[in-house]
Every structure is written in structure tokens, then in C-alpha cells.
Amino acid sequence: MSESGTPALYCLGGSFFIGPDPARDGVQCVALAKTRKRCRRWVEYGQTSFFETLQTVRGDVDFYNVTQDSRRWREQHCTVHDGSDAEDFCSPEWEPFDAEAAPESLFGSRPAPAW
């Protein structure tokens, strides 16, 4: 996630992660493209998630519950690089969610609609 990016909370395969907000920053594929640069495609263009609310010790936080292709999302690959033998340009940008250490910006307001 870019340092200037706005974080969002995701549930991917039953685990919670902080990652880039798809509406503001986009969730970009991490694969190494044929150009020897990072793939410019987004992980998803369609509506594959919905909002839910998680109650934590610091208050409620809304999250994207990714119910389709959660493995691909966790690997942070677009549909072109899903299952391919392409190398990754960088590591996926997901950070494990810890309610006590999470940024304050996650709490209290719903992220903008992603799609």
C-alpha cells in the first residue's frame, strides 16, 4: 500500500487484512509483467465483495468481505496472472489486521463504494 494511500479493511478467506482502498488507490496486481515492470491491471473490476461491520475493542469498522476469488485477492493477482508462473514484482500489500494497532481512519466511517 502506498504511504499516502487510504487503508481499507478486507476479509479474505476468513482472515482480516488492511490493504489499499479500491475506490481511491486501487488494488493493483503485484505480478511482474512482460515489460519487466509491475502489472498495471487491477485485481478486480467487478463487484466481488460487500460491506459488513466488525465490532472491535476500539469500535466498529466496516470491511469489504471478498467472497469470490479470495485466494487470488490474497495473492494480489489480476485474472491474467492468476495461476500463472509469472514472478511477482513485489510482495502483496496486505497487512494483518490488529484492532489495537490499526489506523484510526479505519474506524467510524464506511469506505467509499469500490465499484
Instruction: Assess if residue 52 is contained within a domain.
Output: yes
- Calculate the average pLDDT of the chain: 85
Instruction: Assess if residue 114 is contained within a domain.
Output: no
Domain residues for 66? Answer: 7-94
Instruction: Assess if residue 82 is contained within a domain.
Output: yes
In angstroms, the CA 104 to CA 36 distance is 36
Instruction: Assess if residue 102 is contained within a domain.
Output: no
Instruction: Assess if residue 110 is contained within a domain.
Output: no
Instruction: Assess if residue 100 is contained within a domain.
Output: no
Instruction: Assess if residue 103 is contained within a domain.
Output: no
- Does 1 have pLDDT greater than 50? no
CB 72 within 8 A of CB 84: no
pTM of the complete model: 0.82
Instruction: Assess if residue 15 is contained within a domain.
Output: yes
Total tally of structural domains belonging to the chain: 1
Identify the pLDDT of residue 32: 96
CB 64 within 8 A of CB 110: no
